[in-house]
Every structure is written in C-alpha cells, then in structure tokens.
Structure 1
Amino acid sequence: MDAISSYSFASMAWLAAQSVPLVTWPNFISSLLTPNFQHANATEEYFARSLGLTQLALGLILVSLSGALPLASISETSADAASPYANAVVLISTLYHAAQAFYSYARFSGSDAGGYFIGALGSALLAAFGLWCLLFGGDRGHISRRTGADKRTSGFPFRNSEADKRKGKAL
C-alpha cells in the first residue's frame, strides 16, 4: 500500500470515528462539549447527525477518489496507474484537517474540554501526514534505479563541481 492509500484510509477511519457517535448519540456528544449538561434540542440533533453523515461521505469520497479502492474492473486498470484525482483530494482533505485542528485547538484553549484537544491532536496528525504525502508520497517514476537520485533535479543555481571533475568536464 502506498502512502496516499494509507493516508486516505487513516483519514476515513478518523472521520468515521468522529461521525458514528454524532449519528448515534448526538445528546451524548453535545453533553461532552458543553460546560454544563444540557440535552440537545431537535435542531442540534439534526445538525449533529447531518455533520456525522457528511463526515462519513467525505471519508468515502476521499478513499474512492484517491485510488485506494479500484473502481474499474481489474482488466481495465493497471497496477502502476495512479488516480488523476489523488493529489487534489489529498490537498483538499489536508486543508480540511488543518482547519479542523486549528478550530479544535482554539476551542480547547477557550474551554479546556478534553474532547477538543483529542480532536485537535488527531486532525493535526492527519494534516501533517497529508502534507507529507503531498510533498513526498507521490509517484516515484523519476528516481534513478542505478543511483537512487531524483532525475528531475538540475544544477541550477549551483553546479556539482566534484562530479564534473570526475567526469572530466571543463568548468
């Protein structure tokens, strides 16, 4: 499994872990996040359940568009073909997790509710993993098999004078 697939499944698991309690027990979740115990009214229950269903849908979209789950038949897909939407979906979900981490930490610092800290920590870890996937987790088609160097690099603005000396090139 490549890094983008690992990120998409981890992100889906985190979103599912947040959404299942929102869908099944909206009163319990609202009581955890409020300073004094209050029962949620019908509007709060509706918004909590719709948020939970939205998080489940976001997780499933993330997994399906990142290419972690093959949506075509096996004869139509090749093992080396990456999803054309993988980078876009990882970027959008990384921005989502970063915004969610920032918001949860801001709420935690104002209210000292432990649920916000756990949310901030989980979202921050996924945002960092998503950023790593964007920077380093993409295709590895440009790595030289012989030397292990990246073929996309150039000598600009610095030249590799030691390599030029060994190859006998004039400076």
Structure 2
Amino acid sequence: MSALAYYSFGSFAWLSLQAVPLAIWPTFIISLLTPDYQHANQIEQYFARSLGVSELTIGLLLVVLTGALPLTSLTDTPAEVVSPYQNAVVLISMFYHATSTFYDYARYNGTGQLGYLLGAIGSGAFAAFALWVMMFADSRGHISRRTGADKRTSGFPFKNAEADKRLKGKSL
C-alpha cells in the first residue's frame, strides 16, 4: 500500500472515530461537552448528527477520490492508473485537519479539557501527514534506469550541490 492509501484510510478512521458517536449518541456527546449537565434539545441533536454524517462523508470521499479504494475490478484497471483528483483531495483534507487542529487547540487553551487536546493532536498528525504526502509521496516519479535517480528533481527545498559542481564547467 502506498503512503497516499495509508493517509486516506487513516484519515477515514480518524473521522469515523469522531463521527460515529456524534451520529448515534448526540445527547451523550453534548452532555460531555457542557459544564453543567443539560439535556440536549432537538436543534443540538440535529447539528450533532449532521456533523457526524458530514465527517463520514468527507472520509469516504477522501478514500474514493484518492484512488485508495478502486471502484473497478483490479483486472480491468492498469497498474499505474492514478486518480486525477488525488492532489486536490489531499490538499482540501489537509486544510480541514489543520483548521480542526487550530480550533481544538484554541478550545483546549480556553477550557483546559483533555478531549480538545486529543483532537488537536490527532488532527495535527493527519495535517502533517497530508503535507508530507503532498510533498514527497507522489507515486508518479520518473526513475532513471541507469542511475536510479528521480528525473523530476528540481532542488527545491533542498539544494543539489553535487550536481551544481558537475554542471559548473559545462555550458548548456
């Protein structure tokens, strides 16, 4: 499995871990978040269930649109088919996890509740993993058969001093 598939399924699991209790037991979750126990009204239950279903939908879209879950049989699809939406979906999910991290951390600083800190740590880990996938885990590299190096390297964000030494005396 590729790093993109690990990210997709891991993010789906994280979102499902948050979504299932919201969708099934909204009154229990709301009672955990209020300082004084109050029974949740109908609007709070609706919004909690809606958030749970939305998080499940985001997780499923992430898995399907990145190509981690093939929608056709494996015999019908060539081995190197890459979803055209994978970079966009990973970018959007990275922004979702990052904003969730900032929100949870701000709420943790305001309330001191451990649940917000755990949410910030989990979402922050997936935001960092998504950034890593965007930068380094592209499976469409062009590997040289002679040297084994990736032909698409540009030197950003790291400088290739060895290649610069070899090209210094040659004119293009």
Structure 1 residues 78, 164: CA separation in 2 closer, same or farther (over 3 Å shift)? same
- Answer whether contact 2:8 2:66 (CA < 8 A) is retained: yes
SS in 1 for 2:36: coil
Aligned to 2:111: 111
Aligned to 2:166: 163
The 5-angstrom pairing of residues 1-171 of structure 1 reads 1-153=1-153, 160=163, 162-164=165-167, 169=170
CA distance in 2, matches of 1:85, 1:170: 40
- Answer whether contact 2:104 2:120 (CA < 8 A) is retained: yes
Q: Which runs of 5+ in 1 are unaligned?
A: none
Alpha-carbon offset, residue 164 of structure 1: 4.8
When structure 1 is superposed on structure 2, of 9-18 and 138-147 the one drifting more is: 138-147
Give me the TM-score of the superposition, normalised by structure 1: 0.88
Residue type at the aligned position of 1:121: I
CA distance in 2, matches of 1:114, 1:36: 17
- Answer whether contact 2:141 2:150 (CA < 8 A) is retained: no
CA distance in 2, matches of 1:161, 1:57: 48
Alpha-carbon offset, residue 99 of structure 1: 0.5
CA distance in 2, matches of 1:68, 1:22: 26
- Answer whether contact 2:142 2:150 (CA < 8 A) is retained: yes
Residue type at the aligned position of 2:114: G
Structure 1 residues 162, 128: CA separation in 2 closer, same or farther (over 3 Å shift)? same
Q: How large is the RMSD of aligned CA atoms in angstroms?
A: 2.5
Alpha-carbon offset, residue 141 of structure 1: 2.5
CA distance in 2, matches of 1:24, 1:3: 31
- Answer whether contact 1:32 1:115 (CA < 8 A) is retained: no
Give me the TM-score of the superposition, normalised by structure 2: 0.88
Structure 1 residues 2, 159: CA separation in 2 closer, same or farther (over 3 Å shift)? closer
Structure with bigger RCO (C-alpha 8 Å, 6+ apart): 1
Alpha-carbon offset, residue 149 of structure 1: 2.4
